[in-house]
Amino acid sequence: MGELEVLRHFTRLSHLNYAIETHFYPLGSCTMKYNPKVNEAAARLPGFSLAHPLAPPELLQGALELLYGLEQMLAEISGMDQITLQPAAGAHGELTGLMLIRAHLSSRGDPRRKIIVPDSAHGTNPASSTLCGYEVIQVPSNPRGIIESDKVAEVMTEDVAAMMITNPNTLGIFESEVQAIAEVVHAKGGLVYLDGANLNALMGIAKPGDMGVDVLHINLHKTFSTPHGGGGPGAGPVGVKEFLRDYLPVPRVVKGRDGFSLSEDHPKSIGRVRSFFGNFGILVRAYTYIISLGSDGLEEASRMAVLNANYLRKRLEGTFHLPYTEPCLHECVFTDRFQQKHGVSTLDIAKRLLDYGFHPPTIYFPLVVPGAIMIEPTETETRETLDAFADAMIGIAREAKENPTVLKSAPHSTPVGRLDEARAARKPVLRWEPAERK
Ligand SMILES: *Cc1c(COP(=O)(O)O)cnc(C)c1O
């Protein structure tokens, strides 16, 4: 094929992409915020992008200083004592954090077998617990969407290694009892793990480290920008309190009189969890993001994320059923209860949004909300975009009443129509036929 044919092929494919740079992307729990281009410029600096990971530390001083500095900044933001940047994703951070907990409890001669996980948790929480060899005990959230310390006390025993809790939780609600829950768990010798993937509502305002948390992970590819559509790469740094420091993965970046070096000399360490230093390019982007916003900027980002989510919550309440009515943090969860009367479900609403030019929100998650529609606008969207999205949602609700068949067969304007999603995942049809040739 000629160069032009190849170029056209790939350019056409690129136009089928859906990206934050082309469309609004309100995917709840995923924080699909805009990634400032200065992050990309920094990650492409030759000293970073061309550095060989096996080069001796003397030749990597800038890169090591960046890692050290990022650890310090994330410790300050989260209120933890020490951070490891190795884990490559949130779920990987969870597994690392649980391994730290296991190492600590084992060294006490009391390894324990169970982890408590809320019913509203991200699926990775029970998955990571199971992968780490623990049995999962579920604790229910109350009608206001939060976990009560009394409910935790009912299941907390001396065989529970830790309680995992997400704050703000996946319903977008602040877990106001974290401190009381921590007291219950600590009183029986367990540890508190915080799933901090949703730090976008807290940074600059509240620190999980002040809430009795012993271990947490943060998703750099959510809160600290860095692109993560299409599955990565990401970074899920883990933060710990002082008493867990010795168990952190090696190598650790240390600062000495002669500059920065890598230290393997930590006999209690759980070892490596990732090759080299983790996803270094993502770490450069997060560092740049934090430096360029500063502490005031990070706080403003959190406040805007919360404001935008509450703006959409107010604009859509009444049109869509809102199972939890109190103010939300960074995201809000609706359901299809009002539309079910017309035979229209959450899936139909999500598919129809594609015709209006919007990426659908997260759907059917969290599992505690039947027919969930989970909207996370993030702070980087304008009021005009939020209004256009709300207008589309309200238009779809009107269609549900007046013309439900158009919803049942949506989308109508995309390269392919309604797919059998199970088959599309297992037997994808990768050959593209232009419509006119069919
Ligand atoms: C995204 C998310 C995770 C998992 O993070 P990955 O990087 O996708 O592994 C875990 N918990 C919560 C609450 C999340 O939103």
Residues 130 and 256 in one domain: yes
Residues 28/365, Cβ–Cβ less than 8 Å = yes
pLDDT greater than 70 at residue 436: no
Q: Mean of the per-residue pLDDT values for the chain?
A: 95
Q: What is the CATH number of the domain that holds 399?
A: 3.90.1150.10
> What integer pLDDT is reported at residue 435 of this predicted model?
57
pLDDT greater than 80 at residue 232: no
Residues 119 and 257 in one domain: yes
Dist. CA 29 → ligand 1 center (Å): 7
145-161 residue pLDDT tens: 999 999 999 999 999 99
Dist. CA 362 → ligand 1 center (Å): 13
Q: Grade residue 432 by pLDDT with cuts at 50, 70 and 90.
A: low
| Average pLDDT value for residue range 88-93 | 96
> What integer pLDDT is reported at residue 287 of this predicted model?
98
Residues 39/288, Cβ–Cβ less than 8 Å = yes
pLDDT greater than 90 at residue 231: no
392-410 residue pLDDT tens: 999 999 999 999 999 999 9
pLDDT greater than 60 at residue 191: yes
Least confident of 19-23, 82-86, 169-173: 19-23
| 383-402 and 280-316 helices, crossing angle to 10° | 50
Residues 144 and 19 in one domain: no
111-to-161, 168, 240, 248, 267 alpha-carbon distances in Å: 7, 29, 18, 17, 19
Residues 52/212, Cβ–Cβ less than 8 Å = no
Distance CA(157)–CA(56), nearest Å, equals 48
Residues 185/191, Cβ–Cβ less than 8 Å = yes
Q: Where is 240: in which H helix or E strand?
A: strand 238-240
Q: What is the CATH number of the domain that holds 129?
A: 3.40.640.10
3-state helix, strand, coil split of the chain in percent (to 5) is: 45, 15, 45
Q: Grade residue 428 by pLDDT with cuts at 50, 70 and 90.
A: confident
Residue with tokens 């920065």: 260
Residue 270 lies in domain: 37-292
Mutate to test the pocket of ligand 1, among 29, 92, 95 (most ligand atoms within 8 A of CB): 29
Dist. CA 90 → ligand 1 center (Å): 5
196-230 residue pLDDT tens: 999 999 999 999 999 999 999 999 999 999 888 76
- Radius of gyration of the chain measured on its C-alpha atoms: 23
Which atom of ligand 1 has the smallest separation from the CA of 222? 1
Strand order in the sheet with 332-334: 332-334, 373-375, 362-363
> What integer pLDDT is reported at residue 438 of this predicted model?
46
Residues 235 and 336 in one domain: no
Dist. CA 86 → ligand 1 center (Å): 16
Choose the final residue of a domain: 268, 292, 316: 292
- The reply to whether the predicted model has a pTM over 0.85 is yes
Residues 125 and 267 in one domain: yes
Choose the final residue of a domain: 246, 277, 292: 292
Dist. CA 375 → ligand 1 center (Å): 16
**Contacts for 80 with CB less than 8 Å, ≥ 6 apart:** 74, 208, 209, 213, 216, 239, 240, 241
Terminal CA-CA length for the chain: 23
Which atom of ligand 1 has the smallest separation from the CA of 169? 13
Note the residue count of the chain: 438
Closest residue to atom 5 of ligand 1, CA basis: 90
Distance CA(150)–CA(339), nearest Å, equals 36
Q: Would 419 be classed as within a structural domain?
A: no
302-336 residue pLDDT tens: 999 999 999 999 999 999 999 999 899 999 999 99
Mutate to test the pocket of ligand 1, among 32, 219, 333 (most ligand atoms within 8 A of CB): 219
Q: Is the dihedral of CA 413, 28, 201, 209 positive or negative?
A: negative
Closest residue to atom 4 of ligand 1, CA basis: 90
Residues lining ligand 1, CB < 6 A? 29, 89-91, 122, 124, 166, 170, 195, 197-198, 219, 234, 236
pLDDT greater than 80 at residue 431: no
Residues 15 and 61 in one domain: no
Burial class of residue 34, CB neighbours in 10 A (0-12, 13-18, 19+): middle
Q: Residue 141 — φ and ψ, nearest 5°? A: -85, 160
> What integer pLDDT is reported at residue 434 of this predicted model?
60
Report the percentage of the chain scoring pLDDT > 70.
Answer: 97
Dist. CA 273 → ligand 1 center (Å): 18
Dist. CA 124 → ligand 1 center (Å): 7
Q: Would 437 be classed as within a structural domain?
A: no
Choose the final residue of a domain: 292, 307, 328: 292
Distance CA(337)–CA(331), nearest Å, equals 19
Is cis: bond before 251, omega within 30 of 0? yes
* Domain total in the chain: 2
